[in-house]
Structure 1
Amino acid sequence: MLNAVNIRPVWQNGLLMNDGRPLTASIYSLQPNGRDTASIFCFDQGKENGVWRKFYSNGQLEETRQYDHGIKTGDYLAWWPDGKQKLFYHFKNGEFDGVYREWTDSGILIKEMNYLEGHENGSQKQFFNDGTVKANYTIIGGRRYGLLGTKNCVNVSATIFRN
């Protein structure tokens, strides 16, 4: 495991290089206090690989994600500094796949979206911070049906071309 302050890697052609070679190592960084872990990132032949973790300065896990030789895979999880869930989504072959959920710092669900191979699919819900519905629609055959949460359209010609 390498301390991030002891290496000077650079990105070249999509690979993380160290001393002219693709990096294969786990890299950690420390919080400003110099004692607590801030992050742990893993690379294999210059590509992101394995489980990555980031931590808040209070030691609470901030996020965890997974890579498979440079491709996002598995669950991405994130938390607020107090430990409440912030985000949850799933990757398959580098694309969103499955349920995506997002919460406010007070624990209110503000997004619940569904994806299939990187595209919205099925039920999609978004909420304002107070929990009221912002958007509630369904994707069927690539088309949206329902409350999209957009502003009402105004006919521009009716306002510009009045006599």
Structure 2
Amino acid sequence: MTTETTTGRPVKYAALEWRNKQGEKFDSYQEDSLCYLKEDENPYTGKAIELYENGNPSLEGEFHEGRAHGEEVWWYENGNKNSLVTFRHGDRHGPHLVWYEEGQLQIDVCYTEGKRDGRHAVYYEGGQIRSEAYFENDNLDGSYTTWFEDGSKRSERTFKAGEELKRMEWNQKGEQKKLNNWKADGTPRN
């Protein structure tokens, strides 16, 4: 059974450190390390916060038994959200969202047990979709489409378990590009 340190109120990230199994200490997250309050022997459970000089939050996160667990939210200094990542037992699990500084959504991706799973969308700053892809178990699986900023299609690709099966690309005039290793219908040349 793991003993843990729990505090009733958030601590500053500066009060935390990460340690690996060999006991090495780090000021920030390292793979296969756990979070501790400095000078404490037990993994940390609770909230952590970091503030800008103006008093606005820059980062808030939650930990359980030394691992990120729950939402981790980053903010721009102007108070707008920068990103939101959801963790479960140290792995990304759930939505991972990123915004431009003025508040427009930039990236929308979902994780399951640390792996991309489902729709992954990226947007231009004006709100137009830039790319949309589908993942299963961290592999591209299904359509992967990109667009120019004016909304016209740039490319369309199809994947199965990470293997590219089909590819077509267009220029900004809407004319299909000739690709060396792909036929006009998007299938690979043999």
Query: Shorter-chain TM-score category?
Result: 0.7 to 0.9
Report whether the alignment pairs 1:126 with 2:167.
Answer: no
**1:32 is aligned with what amino acid?**
E
Q: For 1:127 and 1:11, locate their aligned partners in 2 and report how far apart those are by CA, in whole Å.
A: 43
Q: For 1:84 and 1:138, locate their aligned partners in 2 and report how far apart those are by CA, in whole Å.
A: 28
Report whether the alignment pairs 1:12 with 2:12.
Answer: no
Per-residue deviation, residues 37-87 of structure 1 (Å, max 9, x unmatched)? 111011111111111111111111111111111111011111111111111
Per-residue deviation, residues 129-151 of structure 1 (Å, max 9, x unmatched)? 44443320112463421226899
**TM-score between the two structures when normalised by the length of structure 2:** 0.71
Report whether the alignment pairs 1:28 with 2:37.
Answer: no
Identify the match of residue 156 of structure 2 among 136, 145, 149.
136
* Uncovered stretches (5+) of structure 2, i.e. residues with no partner: 1-9, 22-32, 171-176, 182-190
Deviates more, 1:8-17 or 1:52-61: 8-17
Q: For 1:144 and 1:27, locate their aligned partners in 2 and report how far apart those are by CA, in whole Å.
A: 45
Q: For 1:31 and 1:97, locate their aligned partners in 2 and report how far apart those are by CA, in whole Å.
A: 34
Question: What pairs with 1:58-73 in structure 2 (closer than 5 Å)?
Answer: 58-73=78-93
What SS does the aligned partner of 1:21 have?
Answer: coil
Q: For 1:44 and 1:87, locate their aligned partners in 2 and report how far apart those are by CA, in whole Å.
A: 27
What SS does the aligned partner of 2:98 have?
Answer: strand
**1:12 is aligned with what amino acid?**
N
Report whether the alignment pairs 1:75 with 2:95.
Answer: yes
**1:110 is aligned with what amino acid?**
R
Q: For 1:75 and 1:48, locate their aligned partners in 2 and report how far apart those are by CA, in whole Å.
A: 14
Number of equivalences: 152
* Uncovered stretches (5+) of structure 1, i.e. residues with no partner: 155-163
Relative distance call for 1:148 and 1:72 in structure 2 (3 A) is farther
Aligned to 1:2: 11
Report whether the alignment pairs 1:89 with 2:109.
Answer: yes
Give structure 1 regions of 4+ aligned residues with deviation exceeding 4 angstroms: 148-154
Identity of aligned residues (%): 19
